[in-house]
Chains A and B, each alone.
Chain A
Amino acid sequence: MLSGDDAVALGALHAGVRLGTGYPGTPSTEILETFDRIGGRAQWSPNEKVALEVACGSAFAGARTIVTMKHVGLNVAADALFTATHTDVDGGLVIVSADDPGMASSQNEQDNRHYGRAAAAPVLEPIDSQQAYDFTWLGLELSERWKIPVILRLTTRVCHAKTVVRPRAPHQDDSALRFRRDVPARVMIPAFAKPAHRRLRQKLAEITAWNEAEGPIEEHRGNRELGIVATGVAAVHAREAAPDACQLTIGLTYPLPLERIRAFAASVDRLVVIEEGDPVLVDSLRAAGIDAEGKAEQYRFGELNVARVRRILARDTSPESEPPAGKPPELCPGCSHRAVFETLRDLDCIVSGDIGCYTLGVLPPFSAMDTCVCMGASVGVGLGLRHVLPEDEARRVVSVIGDSTFVHSGLTGIAEMVYNPPATGHVVLILDNATTAMTGQQEHPGTGRLLDHSPTKRISFESVCESMGVDNVHVLDLHRNADGLRPLLEELLARDETSVVITRQPCVLAAPKIRLYEKAAAEQAECAAATQD
């Protein structure tokens, strides 16, 4: 039994993937961690855009490659994605996008199937772990056959559900890679990109024909009164909700096998599309002139389940009962973020927040966060507030960003602060707890350790900020001097200068592990020194 994430990792290993890149994000994080554990080569990048760029290079060199991220991560990587689809990849390139309908642990519930159409990338949608395994493999094969990046779109219930997987015999490919120069297919200047766009549309037309003839489509024949077209995990909900109906489950959902669906539609009396999230599939069918029924607007929100699919099929639009609210998450006892948010609350700061555990600072007893948009936004949003608010309010604005988020998207914000400083200056707090805590304590370029926790070079936030030209850079050890934060902030908020305060204290959950990693690294260094002697 494997989770969908683990099944992708195993599929990648068995299909001969030579490099896995990504940035942690629920529900995708476990893919690269598992890939590393079972013997694959995996590495965290500073953010998803860099991860996709590294993956493109690897695929250009002919290596099978996967890159993993959560749904919002693909927004960060979108610049690379939209042009990568115009290039020719030699090695298979699968981009794993893990969506989070229902927002179990995300800031929005965007539906990344839109990216398939928008960026012209084929999209595979597995229904369970077996298909997550099979489609990882299939995605790599399609990608190589048509030299095009393929999106493997997972959702929370595919990523984290465990189901039975029967693996195949691993693919052996130890061939040496050599760089093959192909300028028109890899250098996207207009002269080459114009024909590349035509080639891309031709590739999609060929993939459509393949999908019609031999694509991953499951057809279940039943009573012709009801026909269901479904994708992803919603397909298994539908099979259970309407076991007697005819059902067509589409695996490659962009580009669609419209003629196959048209024939299915003609074979049933009523055609209903069951899909989680936005009406992507149903709109495509209607645009193609297929008379398909979608779901009522209320079912766009949140995850689907068997009960909700039954309601959709019954055209039931009565209000749904809200499940009782459980106990919300909170900052751990002993968490270093607690002292920071108590101080910000007591100073009545206007807090421009960011993405991480510390977003919980918005909840009581702290109630000390006023904005949170996306990774890195704390710095820019804080600056915008400072620029236009009256001076007494502008002076209270503080940006708060975590260590992993700072590396991901905070550096350009600091450049903006130095370049366009507000009249009242600004204060940025980097809460450095020495890990990517929120997603389960992953390493990043500021920890000095790789994905497998072995040592590498560490980026010094204080050196970066100083060299970028921030007026005041302070480092505060919260463990030894939590009381020092308030007077320091008061002093900096009163100045018309730009300031960065880096508060340091390891995450309480990560600290014991960090001590082990450091011990192992020290022993290794000692061994190496002894060998040199």
Chain B
Amino acid sequence: MQQVKNIVIAGLGGQGVIKASDILADAAFRAGFDVKKSELHGMSQRGGSVSSDVRYGEGVLSPMVPPGEADVLLVLEATQVEINRPTLRAGGLLIGPDVIEPGALRNRKSLNVALLGALSTALEIDQAHWEAALHANLAEKLHAINEQAFALGREGAARHLGQ
């Protein structure tokens, strides 16, 4: 079985963590991978910590990323980095909100998609699948602003992550 790619997206309720993981899972599915994603709903929507696991590859079994086995940890809120760090494997990639310059986003609500842009530079999923996933998971009036945010994230990644 081919290696499964493990990504954990974390933040606070209301930041769009689940939306981001929906878009990532959809993009990976469009790229032809088996995909599973899971998270806990419910009380977390009242402003508490939220995290979502996305796994893709040839064949995925468990829907949860085992602790210490995330290839990428993407965090939308600086205060949530440390509590989620144990999910990251040694040598794994951390993408935090500092990848995006403060004030660079037209709307702070699109931070989730901007960080997906940064994430996209580290994954083997074609740009076309990302675009299709963005369109499928967001209302049409939000497409333009989120496409800009995604592009901004890709630029931020080039600067911050040295890719």
The interface of chain A, by Cβ under 8 A from chain B, is 1, 26-27, 102, 104-105, 128, 156-157, 160-164, 233, 236-237, 239-240, 243, 305-307, 321, 323-332, 357, 360, 438-440
12 contacts between A and B (CB under 8 A): A128-B63, A160-B40, A161-B63, A162-B63, A163-B63, A239-B61, A240-B61, A305-B66, A306-B66, A327-B48, A329-B43, A440-B45
Per-residue interface assignment for chain B, residues 24 to 45, with 1 indicating a CB less than 8 Å from any chain A CB and 0 otherwise? 0110010000111111111111
CB-CB under 8 A for A329 and B36, given A162-B25, A306-B64, A323-B86 = no
Instruction: Report yes or no: A307 in contact with B46, Cβ–Cβ below 8 A.
Output: no
Contact B42 A105 (CB under 8 A): yes
Which residues in B have their C-beta under 8 angstroms from that of A330? 46-48
Residues of A within 8 A of B22 (CB): 162
Chain A residues whose CB sits within 8 angstroms of the CB of B63 once the complex forms: 128, 157, 161-163, 233, 236
Min CB–CB distance B97 → chain A (angstroms) = 15
Q: Across the interface, which residues of A come within 8 angstroms of B48, CB to CB?
A: 326-330
A395 to chain B, nearest CB (A): 32
**Partner-contacting stretch, out of B75-83, B88-96, B99-107, B110-118:** B75-83
User: Of all chain B residues, which has the CB nearest A357?
Assistant: B46
Report the Cα distance A363→B36, complex, angstroms.
Answer: 35
Chain B residue nearest in CB terms to A324? B83
Asked if B47 and A329 make an inter-chain contact with CB atoms under 8 angstroms apart, the answer reads: yes
4 other A-B residue contacts (CB within 8 Å) besides A105-B41, A105-B44, A236-B61: A157-B38, A328-B48, A329-B45, A330-B46
B62-A236 in contact (CB<8A): yes
Whole-angstrom distance between the alpha carbons of A105 and B60 in the complex? 26
Q: Is the CB of A26 within 8 A of B42?
A: yes
Would B62 and A237 count as touching, CB distance under 8 A? yes
Give bound CA distance, A160 to B39, whole Å.
7
- Give, as a whole number of angstroms, the nearest-CB distance from B12 to chain A: 6
Residues of B contacting A160 with CB < 8 Å?
38-41
Which of these, B34, B36, B43, contacts A104 with CB under 8 Å? B43
> Within the assembled complex, what's the spacing in Å between the Cα atoms of A527 and B45?
38
A465 CA / B30 CA spacing, docked (Å) = 56
Q: What chain B residues lie within 8 Å of A237 (beta carbons)?
A: 61-62, 64
Count of chain B residues with a beta carbon within 8 Å of a chain A beta carbon: 37
Residues of chain B whose beta carbon lies under 8 Å from any beta carbon of chain A: 1, 12-13, 22, 25-26, 29, 34-49, 51, 60-64, 66-68, 79-80, 82-83, 86
> B83: nearest residue on chain A (CB-CB)?
A324
B41 near A157: Cβ-Cβ < 8 Å: no
User: Could you tell me if B62 and A306 are in contact, using CB atoms closer than 8 angstroms?
Assistant: yes
Question: Distance (Å) between the CB of A242 and the closest chain B CB?
Answer: 11
The chain A residue with its CB closest to the CB of B38 is A161
| A161 cross-chain contacts in B, Cβ below 8 A | 36-38, 63-64
Q: How far is the CB of B105 from chain A (nearest CB, A)?
A: 22
A319, chain B: closest CB distance, angstroms: 15
Cross-chain contact of A327 among B34, B49, B67 (Cβ < 8 A): B49
Q: Given the complex of chains A and B, what is the CA–CA distance between A157 and B1 in angstroms?
A: 23
Closest CB in chain B relative to A246 CB, distance in Å: 16
Inter-chain contact B66/A105, CB cutoff 8 Å: no
Instruction: List chain A residues, Cβ under 8 A from B79.
Output: 327
Per the bound structure, the CA–CA distance linking A157 and B63 in Å amounts to: 8
When distances are taken between beta carbons in the complex, the residues of chain B under 8 Å from A104 are 40-44
A160-B39, A163-B63, A240-B62 given; A1·B47 CB < 8 A:
no
* Cα of A307 to Cα of B6 in the assembled complex, Å: 14
The 5 A-B residue pairs whose C-beta atoms are closest, nearest first, are A326-B49, A105-B42, A161-B38, A329-B46, A329-B48
CA–CA, A239 and B13, complex, Å:
32
B71 to chain A, nearest CB (A): 15
Residues of B near A331 (CB, < 8 A) are 46
Residues of A within 8 A of B1 (CB): 243
Instruction: List A contacts of B12 (CB < 8 A).
Output: 327
CB of A325 within 8 A of CB of B83, answer yes
A105 contact set on B, CB distance < 8 A:
40-44
| Contact B62–A332 (Cβ < 8 Å) | no
A163→B40 contact, CB < 8 A: no
- Report whether A26 and B46 are in contact in the complex, using a CB–CB cutoff of 8 Å: no
Question: CB < 8 Å: which of B29, B34, B64 contacts A157?
Answer: B64
A1 touches B43 (CB 8 A): no
Q: Are A329 and B25 in contact (CB under 8 A)?
A: no
Determine which of B47, B60, B66, B86 lies in contact with A324 in the assembled complex, contact meaning CB atoms within 8 Å: B86
In the assembled complex, how far is the CB of residue B6 from the closest CB belonging to chain A, in whole angstroms?
11
Q: Using Cβ atoms and an 8 Å threshold, which residues of chain B touch A307?
A: 66-68
Report B73 CB to chain A, min CB distance, Å.
13
Measured between beta carbons, the chain A residues less than 8 angstroms from B68 are: 307
